[in-house]
Structures are given as structure tokens and as C-alpha cells.
């Protein structure tokens, strides 16, 4: 266990190092000189040079990279070339928003996926199972922004039940926070739920075919109880993996929903950063997203090992 953990942690750290280098290198070829952009179009060459010095963009790339990565370790993402704002807190703020959104979306997804997937697996090759499987197929095929647009059109605009978008931090007003979270979480969660339902379905199907489930029934458990007591935990192992991967994908994929619902999350920050050529900001956001993906994968790996005694011992 410890060996495995050490190895995985090392791999994570090396990956993070490589990822940061890739991100940095890739974005440093971005067209548009940050100093020039920051100064606007009227800047004199001298002013640009001065600005470059202030930003440190006149230094060799390696030095800039080391400086940047050094800052990251202490949570210092630098200062935006464009707005002069400190990037770190900005990213944290936005990340919190995205995490709320994605977390709520995932919750919706799970609430949909687990019963839907399980039912359609249990009713495999029977009408209900086919219908449910069909429903999740259709769900997967719908882009989440379309779901968002339709939800807004219906719930917010036509029925005026909920706001059409926007964001209120939970600390400021919990009720309003929830009201504004609900629709985007649904848009994200319904579609994601359909995706997850498929995984749940196939893992439950696999588990249903397992010999030990037959053993459980031979012991006198009804099929439903056998599934609950012996099957679901086994099915959970692969689903957790998918969940982690999907969570990471969702963190990035939420950008479209954030756009539709005007939610100030990490995704919109990224798009704004790109539009403004705010290099350091983009770098920071991309790095945080990549970090999130890598760390999530790492956690999933660890969790996976913890869930399955076979792997625990093999470790």
C-alpha cells in the first residue's frame, strides 16, 4: 500500500512538473506581446520595453518559467498583465464557483444515474430496461448547452420560477445561491447523469453476471437484496474511477454551461483571459485545471485501491 502510494505520488509530482512546463511553453508562443496588450495601442516602444521589464517578459523563457513555477508553490500566480490584479485569489474565487457548480452537477448526475443505470441493468433485455437505456442514450446525445438553453427558456423565461443565470455566493445569501445554482446544475447534471447511467448500467450488468452474486442468492438473499448487499459495492469500484475522470472533464466542460448561465467560474475566466490575451491568467487557469485533473486521477487511483482489498494487498 505504502509502496503504491509513494509510487503514485511520485508519478503525480513528475506529471505536474511536466504539465506545467508544457503549459508554459505552449502559451509562451501565444501571439501578442503582453506588454503591448497591456499598454494598449498607443504605447511607445520605450513604454513597452519598460513594461516588459516590469512583467519580466524580457528575461529568458527558462528563467520566467522557474520564476512562475516557484511562485505556484506558494500559491503566487503572479499579477495579471492586463488588469494588474493578483491572479491567485481571482483563480481561487472562480475555482470555488466552478467547484460548487460541478459538485452540484455531479450530485444531480449521481441521483439520476445510480437508479437509472441500476434499473436498466436489472431490467436488461426487458422493456423497461430497454426504455431506460434508450433514455440515457438520448440524454448523452444532447449537448449540455442545449439543455441549458431549453431550461432557461422554459423555467426562467416562460415560467419565471428561477433566475436565468448569474451567481450569488452561498455566504451572501444561501437561498438565492441555491436558486441560481439549480438550473445550471440541472443542465450539467442531467446530461452527465445520462453518461454516468451508462457506466452504472454496464458495471451493474457485469456485477449481475458475477458468480458471487449467484452465491448470494443461493444463500437466500432476494435478487434485489443480493444486488444491494453484494453487488453495488463491487459496481462502485469501477464507477468511482469514471466519476473521478468525469469530474475532471466536467470541470472544463462546465465552461459552456457557465457561459450560458453567466456564471463567473473558472471556465469563463479562461475564456476572458484568452480574449484579453492575459497570458499569465490563462496560464494560471490552465494549470489549475490540469492540476485538478491530475489530482483527481490520483485520488481516484488511491480510492480505487482502498475500495478493493485485492489491490490493497497486491500493493
Partner 1 sequence: DAGDTVDPDDTADPADDVDEEPDDDPADDTDDVDEDEADDNGADVAGLSIGFAAEPASLDFSTDDGAAIPEALLVNVYEPLVKIDQDGEIVPVLAESYEVSDDNTVYDFFLEEGVTFSNGDPFDAEAVAFSIERVQEDWTIGLASQMDIVEDVEVVDDLHARVTLAEPSNNWLFSMTTRIGAMFSPDGVDGLDEEAIGTGPYLVDDFARGDRIDLVSNEDYWGEAPEFDDVSLRYFADPNALNNAMLADDIDLIGTVQAPEGLSQFEDDDRFEIIEGTSEGQVVLSFNHDREVFEDQRVRQAIRQAIDRESVIETSWGGYGELIGSMVPPTDPWYEDLTDVHPYDPQAAEALLEEAGAADLELDFRVPNLPYAVNAAQTVQSQLAAVGIDAEIDLLEFPAVWLDEVFTEGDYDMSVINHVEPRDIAQYGNPDFYWAYDNPEVQDLLAEADRGDEETFEENYREVARIISEDAASDWLFLAPNLMVANERVGGVPENNVGEMFDLTVLERT
Partner 2 sequence: MSADALAAAHPQDPSVSVLEVRDLTVATGGHTLLEDVTFSLGPGERVGLIGESGSGKSLTALAVMGLLPEGLTAGGTVQLRGVETDLLRIGERERSGLRGRRLGMVFQEPMTALNPLMRVGHQVAEVLRIHGTVDDREDATRRAQQLLADVELPDPVRIARRYPHQLSGGQRQRVMLAMALANGPDVLICDEPTTALDVTVQAQMLQLIAAGVADRTSGLLFISHDLPVVATVCERLLVLYGGRIVEAGPTHQLLTRPRHPYTEGLLAASDLEAVDDQGRLPTIPGAVPPDGRFPSGCVFRNRCPRGDEACTVWPGWTGREDHGVACWYPSGAPHG
Partner 3 sequence: MWPAGTRAGHRMAEPEVIYDVRDLVCRFRQPRTSLRHRSPSLTAVDRVDLQVTAGQRFGLVGESGSGKSTLLRCLAALQQPTSGSVRFRGQELVGRRDRQLRFLRGDVQVVFQDPMASLDPRMRVRELIAEPLVAQRAPGSHERVDELLDAVGLPRGSASRYPHQFSGGQRQRIAIARALAVRPSVLLADEPVSALDVSVRAQILNLLQDLVERFDLTLVFVSHDLAVVRHVCDTVAVMRTGQLVERGSAEAIASEPQHPYTQALVAAVPTLRRALDGATPSTLLRDVPSDTASESLVRRDPPEPS
Residues that bind partner 2 (CB under 8 A): 124-125, 210-212, 214-223, 229-230, 233-234, 237, 307-310, 313
Closest CB to partner 2 among residues 164, 307:
307
Kindly tell me which of 117 and 163 has the beta carbon lying closer to partner 1: 163
| Closest approach of partner 3 to the CB of residue 4, in Å | 8
Instruction: State how far the alpha carbon of 297 is from the alpha carbons of 188, 240, 310, in Å.
Output: 21, 10, 20
Give the CA angle between residues 17, 18, 19 to the nearest 5°.
95
Q: Confirm if 310 and 43 have CB atoms less than 8 A apart.
A: no
Cβ distance 259 to 267 under 8 Å? Answer: yes
State the binding partner of 156 from partner 1, partner 3, partner 2, none, CB within 5 to 8 A by kind: partner 1
Retrieve residue 123's grid coordinates: 431490467
Q: CA 146, CA 156: separation in Å to the nearest integer?
A: 15
Query: Which is closer to partner 1, CB of 216 or CB of 280?
Result: 280
Cα 31 to Cα 40: distance, rounded to the nearest angstrom: 15
HSE-up of 247 (CA within 13 Å, CB side)? Answer: 23
Nearer to partner 3 (CB atom), residue 5 or residue 69: 5
Query: Site residues for partner 3, window 3-32 (CB under 8 A)?
Result: 3, 6
> Where in 293-312 is the site for partner 3 (CB under 8 A)?
312
> 171, 175, 275, 313: which one contacts partner 3 (CB under 8 A)?
313
To the nearest whole angstrom, how small is the minimum distance from the Cβ of residue 238 to partner 2? 12
Q: Are 260 and 268 in contact (CB under 8 A)?
A: no
Q: Which does 2 bind (CB under 5 to 8 A by kind): partner 1, partner 2, partner 3, none?
A: partner 3
Residue 259 has φ and ψ, to the nearest 5°, of: -65, -45
Q: Which residues bind partner 3 (CB under 8 A)?
A: 1-3, 6, 312-315
Amino acid at each position: 500500500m505504502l509502496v503504491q502510494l509513494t509510487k503514485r505520488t511520485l508519478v503525480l509530482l513528475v506529471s505536474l512538473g511536466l504539465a506545467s512546463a508544457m503549459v508554459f511553453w505552449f502559451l509562451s508562443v501565444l501571439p501578442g506581446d503582453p506588454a503591448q496588450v497591456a499598454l494598449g495601442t498607443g504605447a511607445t516602444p520605450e513604454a513597452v520595453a519598460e513594461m516588459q521589464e516590469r512583467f519580466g517578459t524580457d528575461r529568458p523563457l527558462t528563467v520566467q518559467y522557474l520564476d512562475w513555477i516557484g511562485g505556484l508553490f506558494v500559491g503566487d500566480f503572479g499579477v495579471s498583465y492586463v488588469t494588474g490584479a493578483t491572479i491567485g485569489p481571482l483563480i481561487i474565487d472562480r475555482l470555488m464557483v466552478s467547484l460548487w457548480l460541478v459538485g452540484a452537477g455531479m450530485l444531480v448526475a449521481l441521483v439520476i444515474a445510480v437508479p437509472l443505470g441500476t434499473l436498466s441493468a436489472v431490467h436488461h433485455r426487458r422493456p423497461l430496461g430497454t426504455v431506460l437505456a434508450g433514455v440515457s442514450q438520448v440524454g448523452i446525445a444532447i449537448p449540455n448547452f442545449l439543455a441549458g438553453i431549453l431550461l432557461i427558456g422554459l423555467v426562467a423565461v416562460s415560467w419565471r420560477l428561477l433566475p436565468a443565470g448569474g451567481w450569488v455566493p452561498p455566504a451572501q445569501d444561501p437561498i438565492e445561491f441555491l436558486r441560481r445554482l439549480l438550473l445550471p446544475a440541472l443542465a450539467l447534471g442531467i446530461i452527465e447523469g445520462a453518461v454516468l447511467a451508462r457506466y452504472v448500467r454496464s458495471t451493474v450488468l457485469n456485477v449481475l453476471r458475477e458468480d458471487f452474486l449467484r452465491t448470494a442468492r443461493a444463500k437466500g438473499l432476494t435478487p434485489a437484496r443480493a444486488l444491494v448487499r453484494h453487488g453495488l459495492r463491487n459496481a462502485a469500484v469501477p464507477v468511482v474511477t469514471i466519476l473521478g475522470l468525469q469530474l475532471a472533464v466536467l470541470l472544463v466542460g462546465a465552461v459552456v454551461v457557465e457561459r450560458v448561465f453567466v456564471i463567473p467560474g473558472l471556465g469563463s475566466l479562461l475564456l476572458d483571459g484568452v480574449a484579453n490575451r492575459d497570458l499569465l491568467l490563462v496560464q494560471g487557469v490552465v494549470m489549475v485545471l490540469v492540476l485538478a485533473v491530475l489530482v483527481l486521477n490520483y485520488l481516484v487511483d488511491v480510492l480505487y485501491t482502498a475500495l478493493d482489498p485485492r489491490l490493497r494487498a497486491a500493493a
